[in-house]
Amino acid sequence: MRSGDRDDLDLTDEATYERLRSPSRRALLRLSAGAGLSAGLGGGLLTALGPPAAAAAGGIVKPLPPELFISHGTNAEMRWEAMRRQGYLTPADRFFVRNHTATPLIDARTWSLKLWGTGLRGRPTEDSPVELTYEDLLDLPSETLTASIECTGNGRGFFASQQGQEASGTPWKLGAVGVARWHGVRLSTVLRRAGITREAVDIMPRGLDADYVDKGENLGRVRRPLPVAKAMKDVLLAYRMNGAPLPADHGHPVRLVVPSWVGIASVKWLGDIQVADEPLFSPWNTRFYRLFGPAYPPDGSAPLTRMNVKSAFELPWEAELPAARPLALRGRSWSGGGRILRVEVSADGGATWRPARLRDRHPDPRGWARWEFGWQPSRPGPYELLARATDETGATQPATVPFNRLGYLFGAVVRHPVTVI
Ligand SMILES: Nc1nc2c(c(=O)[nH]1)N[C@H]1C(S)=C(S)[C@@H](COP(=O)(O)O)O[C@H]1N2
Ligand SMILES: [Mo]
């Protein structure tokens, strides 16, 4: 595949993407995806359709012990102290879960991925798509990718608690993020084999979980357009997580992993992918996952793409810390913009800052950087601990962020309350 011209356009840049995807600029989007593609996925791929997925009773299948999770209805966030004695990766038993409805139980033996649309050679329709079974997928060249997945609303609760501005949605603290080793097949491999053409502009992956009903309105199954440039760049069709088959709650049998981008892009329980020669729309790139508020255009910002810079201490919220000895405060910082270069910590509410020591020499640009900060509190009492990271693009965490009504991308420095006893 020749990806050069596509990379020049950098549709992974939010502003460029929005500018180019407007219908008047469509010509620019006719990218060179068509050259030298193999003819379809070959024989033996047509399979019987599996039974409809059964929904798990409680919404989330895995145990949610209160020492690891804070429960938010159909969602559960990781408590940051649960990373304290962990290695680089977030184990699956404490990885946050964000479900629009409920975890479906899907049998990999009857599952298949269906690809269809005007951006594939022969323009296969939804009724007679190109199909790929789980076994077909396992037979394709595979690779491993370490990447974070983070909910776009991670940190949303701080709009209210730090800025006095109530946003609608799950009031996450900072635990709607995790880093895992994902293993699977590059989406580009599958799209090429399915016959993606140079006219393809957007793909629309869709989950097999139940229709999402928003205030009485049925919005259909979770689906969000993804520009072909990103789809062909570094997206994985993952079937393993941290060395084990993908757990039910995280998308079994197959999910997308879209590194550095808003979590909604990483569609779980992947059922089909529409490939189109024109821009696609769904509620997840029109009414959700854009910024609406006084600081933004009346119709909202462009659809959100990359995540921003954040930092968290591996401490309980309102932790009690012993005064007796020097403390080694630990935490992690991450950014959709790439590698974390620098982290500073303040233990006096932001008056003075000192650098934290990065524990990862070459932190993964799609994962996070672990850090440590030595602190000897001078007296017992309440403190606010602040951490502020800077990524390789120079983006750093501000003291406050402009409000948006859906509470996305809270990237300001979080004031973490602790008491020294
Ligand atoms: N099919 C489907 N995919 C989905 C979702 C969903 O509800 N259904 N939630 C999305 C959102 S908003 C996020 S943040 C991530 C969460 O992934 P996790 O539950 O594995 O942590 O999955 C995304 N993929
Ligand atoms: Mo999310």
Residue nearest to atom 11 of ligand 1 (CA): 264
Reported as a single tens digit per residue, the pLDDT across 274-326 is 999 999 999 999 999 999 999 999 999 999 999 999 999 999 999 999 987 89
Q: What is the pLDDT of residue 361?
A: 82
Residue 24 lies inside a defined structural domain of this protein: no
Mean pLDDT of 43-61: 52
Can you point out the beta strands (E) in 31-102? Answer: 54-55, 69-72, 75-78
Residue 388 lies inside a defined structural domain of this protein: yes
The gap between the terminal CA atoms of the chain, to the nearest Å, is: 61
Residue nearest to atom 21 of ligand 1 (CA): 97
Rounded Cα–Cα distance for residues 42 and 150 (Å): 36
Within 8 A by CB and 6+ apart from 251, the residues are 238, 267, 268, 269, 270
**For strand 130-133 and strand 217-218, is the pairing parallel, antiparallel, or unpaired?**
unpaired
Write the CATH number for 245: 3.90.420.10
Does 272 contact ligand 1 (Cβ within 6 A)?
Answer: no
Provide φ and ψ at 295, rounded to 5°.
Answer: -85, 0
pLDDT at 16 over 80: no
- For 2, other C-beta atoms within 10 Å of its C-beta total 13
Reported as a single tens digit per residue, the pLDDT across 250-272 is 999 999 999 999 999 999 999 99
350 and 215 belong to one structural domain: no
Does 151 contact ligand 1 (Cβ within 6 A)?
Answer: yes
Reported as a single tens digit per residue, the pLDDT across 101-137 is 999 999 999 999 999 999 999 999 999 999 999 999 9
Counting atoms of ligand 1 from 1, which one is nearest the CA of 95? 21
Does 269 contact ligand 1 (Cβ within 6 A)?
Answer: yes
Residue 384 lies inside a defined structural domain of this protein: yes
Mean pLDDT of 234-238: 98
Residue 170 lies inside a defined structural domain of this protein: no
Listed residues: CB within 5 A of ion ligand 2: 98, 151, 263-264
**For strand 112-116 and strand 270-276, is the pairing parallel, antiparallel, or unpaired?**
parallel
- Is residue 145 within 8 Å of residue 259, measured between CB atoms? yes
184 and 90 belong to one structural domain: yes
pLDDT at 151 over 50: yes
Rounded Cα–Cα distance for residues 37 and 27 (Å): 21
Structure tokens at 92: 């699956």
* Probe residue for ligand 1, chosen from 103, 181, 208, 222 as the CB with the greatest number of ligand atoms within 8 Å: 222
Write the CATH number for 355: 2.60.40.650
Helix (H) / strand (E) element for 391: namely strand 381-391
Does 156 contact ligand 1 (Cβ within 6 A)?
Answer: no
249 and 350 belong to one structural domain: no
Within 8 A by CB and 6+ apart from 388, the residues are 311, 343, 344, 345, 346, 353, 396, 397, 413
> No. of H helices and E strands in the chain?
7, 25
112 and 191 belong to one structural domain: yes
Reported as a single tens digit per residue, the pLDDT across 364-396 is 899 999 999 999 998 999 999 999 999 999 999
DSSP annotation of 83 = G
Does 268 contact ligand 1 (Cβ within 6 A)?
Answer: yes
Dihedral over alpha carbons 115, 151, 340, 302 (to 10 degrees): 70
> SS3 of 371, please?
strand
Residue 286 lies inside a defined structural domain of this protein: no
407 and 323 belong to one structural domain: yes
Q: What is the pLDDT of residue 18?
A: 52
228 and 319 belong to one structural domain: no
Last residue in a domain, options 262, 281, 300: 281
Counting atoms of ligand 1 from 1, which one is nearest the CA of 97? 19
Q: Which domain holds residue 386?
A: 310-420
- Neighbour-count burial of 74, counting CB atoms closer than 10 A to its CB (0-12 exposed, 13-18 middle, 19+ buried): middle
315 and 277 belong to one structural domain: no
CA-to-CA dists, residue 292 to 174, 280, 286, 412, angstroms? 21, 21, 11, 18
Does 6 contact ligand 1 (Cβ within 6 A)?
Answer: no
Percent of the chain with pLDDT over 90: 84
Nearest to 56 by CA among 170, 190, 209, 264: 209
pLDDT at 50 over 70: no
Which one is predicted more confidently, 212 or 12?
A: 212
Helix (H) / strand (E) element for 179: namely strand 177-186
Residue nearest to atom 20 of ligand 1 (CA): 250
336 and 218 belong to one structural domain: no
Ligand nearest to the CA of 170: 2
70 and 208 belong to one structural domain: yes
Q: Ligand 2: distance of its center to the CA of 29 in Å? A: 28
Residue 272 lies inside a defined structural domain of this protein: yes
272 and 221 belong to one structural domain: yes
Mean pLDDT of 40-64: 55
Mean pLDDT of 180-193: 98
Rounded Cα–Cα distance for residues 82 and 172 (Å): 16
Q: What is the pLDDT of residue 362?
A: 83
- Is residue 231 within 8 Å of residue 187, measured between CB atoms? yes
Does 175 contact ligand 1 (Cβ within 6 A)?
Answer: no
Reported as a single tens digit per residue, the pLDDT across 54-95 is 555 569 999 999 999 999 999 999 999 999 999 999 999 999
274 and 354 belong to one structural domain: no
Q: Which residues of 139-149 are buried (b: 16+ CB within 10 A; e: fewer)?
A: eeebeebbbbb
Q: Ligand 2: distance of its center to the CA of 98 in Å? A: 6
Q: What is the pLDDT of residue 325?
A: 83
Q: What is the pLDDT of residue 56?
A: 54
Average pLDDT of the chain to the nearest whole number: 89
Mean pLDDT of 202-221: 97
pLDDT at 165 over 70: yes
Residue nearest to atom 14 of ligand 1 (CA): 151
Does 250 contact ligand 1 (Cβ within 6 A)?
Answer: yes
Residue carrying structure tokens 């928003």:
214
Residue 351 lies inside a defined structural domain of this protein: yes
pLDDT at 29 over 70: no
318 and 241 belong to one structural domain: no
Mean pLDDT of 152-165: 98
Residue nearest to atom 16 of ligand 1 (CA): 98
Residue 303 lies inside a defined structural domain of this protein: no
Within 8 A by CB and 6+ apart from 287, the residues are none
Question: For the chain, how many structural domains are there in total?
Answer: 2
